[in-house]
Amino acid sequence: MLKSPNIPSNYGFGIWFNKKEKREYYVTPLVNCQVKFYKNINFKYGELLLTTESPKFKKPVCDVIKNNYYSPMEERYGMFLIKFLNADFTDVFSAYKTFFAFYGIEFLKEYVNNFPDIHSCKTANDYLNLLTKVFKNSKENLISLQKDIRECVDFTYNLDNSNSYNDVYPHIRYLSHALKNDLYRYTNNTNVYFNKLFVNGTDGLSPNLANPTKVSKSIKDGKLSYKLSNIYHSTALSNIVFISLDEIALNTYVTIKKCQNCGKYFIPISKESEIYCDIMYYDKEKTCRVKGAAETFKKNIGDVEAYKLYKKTYQKILMQIQRGKTSPYSEKAKYFTQWKQQSQQYLKRYKKGSISENDLNEWMQKSVDKFDKYKDNII
C-alpha cells in the first residue's frame, strides 16, 4: 500500500465522501446492541439497521462491530447529516434508536470529561449504563447543536418558508448563514487525511514505483480513488456534523427537503419533486415513500384536481368518439390513446410519491389543453 496515513480507528470518528457516486463512508468503534449489517445491493460495504423497532439491551454478550479504513460503514450521501437533523434526543432510548445505534458515541468526547472506554463493556447492559451516563452529560449540547444546524439547513433550502432571498442559490444562502453564525469554528478539532495517499488493500502500488501505467491500473482495480474526498477524523460531533453540512450544502446537485408525510429532513434520490422520505431505522421498516404515499393516494385521490380533470376529459372524448363526433382514425383520437397512457403513468408516479400534487395538476392541465388544437374531422 501507499504511505499509510495512520488514521485512528479505535477512537473518534472518521468520515469521507464520494460526490459522484453519492456515497459516504465512516469508521468508528461501534457496539452491537441489536443492530445488523444491511447490504444494499449497490453498495460495496455494509450499512447498519436496527433488527427491531424497539431494541432491548438484553443481549448478554456485548460485541464490537468490526469496521476500519479497509472496510468502513457505507451509506447514501448526506445520511449522517440527515440522521443528525432528524435525531430524537428526548431520552437515551430514542437517541439510540435514531442516532447512536448507527454512529456510536465516540464524538461525544467534546462534551464529556473522563470519557469511558466502550471496549470495557462486557454486556449490553454495561453499554446501556455507559450510554445513559454519556447522554445525560451531553444532552443539552446535543439539542442546542441540532437547533443551530436545523436553522442553517432551513435557511439554506428555504424550509422555513420565510421567502427571504428567494432568488439566491442555496449554496450562497448557506455560505452567508455559516459565515454570519461562525459555523466555521466547528473545524477546530478535525484532522484531515489525504485519501490519495491511502490505497485500499495491502497490494497497492508502491509510491517510489508510481508511474502513469501503474496509477491507471490501481484506479481501475479500485485501490486508488481520486474521486473520494479527504478523510476527516474528529472526537467532536460538532466538527463531524459541520463537515457533513459543508459537503452537502456546497454541492449544487443536492437538495434537502422535509417529508410531507412525517416532517423529517431528507435528500431526494433522483427527482427534486419527490415529496416523501425514505428514512429507515430498522429492518423491514416501511418508508413514507412506500407507506404514506400509498395511504394518501387511497384517501385523497378523488380530491386531486388532476384526477377529476382526467376523469372528466376521458368521458368527454370517449363520448365524442362513440357518438361519431370525432373519427376514431383522427389525430385527436390518436392523441387520446397516447394521453390515456401518459395520464395513467403520471397518476402512478403521484401514487408512489415521486411527483407532487402541484406537478401532477400542472401536467394534466397542459396535456388536456392540447386537445383544443385538434379539429373534429368527421369522415
Tell me which residues touch Zn ion (CB under 5 A). Answer: 259, 261-262, 264, 277, 288
Q: Is 68 helix (H, G, I), strand (E, B) or coil?
A: strand
Query: Angle at which helices 237-249 and 124-156 pack, to 10 degrees?
Result: 40
Q: Which is nearer to Zn ion, 27 or 355 (CB)?
A: 355
Q: Which is nearer to Zn ion, 200 or 261 (CB)?
A: 261
Q: Copy the grid coordinates of residue 279.
A: 428514512
Q: Copy the grid coordinates of residue 81.
A: 447529516
Closest distance to Zn ion from the beta carbon of 261 (Å): 5
Which segments of the chain are extended strands (E)? 13-18, 23-27, 30-32, 35-38, 47-50, 63-65, 73-76, 190-193, 231-234, 257-258, 265-266
Q: Which is nearer to Zn ion, 64 or 262 (CB)?
A: 262
Q: Which is nearer to Zn ion, 261 or 326 (CB)?
A: 261
Closest distance to Zn ion from the beta carbon of 273 (Å): 15
Which helix (H) or strand (E) segment holds residue 347: the answer is helix 331-352
Closest distance to Zn ion from the beta carbon of 198 (Å): 36
Q: Which is nearer to Zn ion, 262 or 301 (CB)?
A: 262
Closest distance to Zn ion from the beta carbon of 289 (Å): 8
Q: Which is nearer to Zn ion, 192 or 280 (CB)?
A: 280
Closest distance to Zn ion from the beta carbon of 35 (Å): 21
- Amino acid identity for residue 6 in this structure: N
Q: How far apart are CA 374 and CA 379, in angstroms?
A: 15
Q: Copy the grid coordinates of residue 131.
A: 450510554
Closest distance to Zn ion from the beta carbon of 281 (Å): 12
Phi, psi (degrees; rounded to nearest 5) at 161: 55, 30
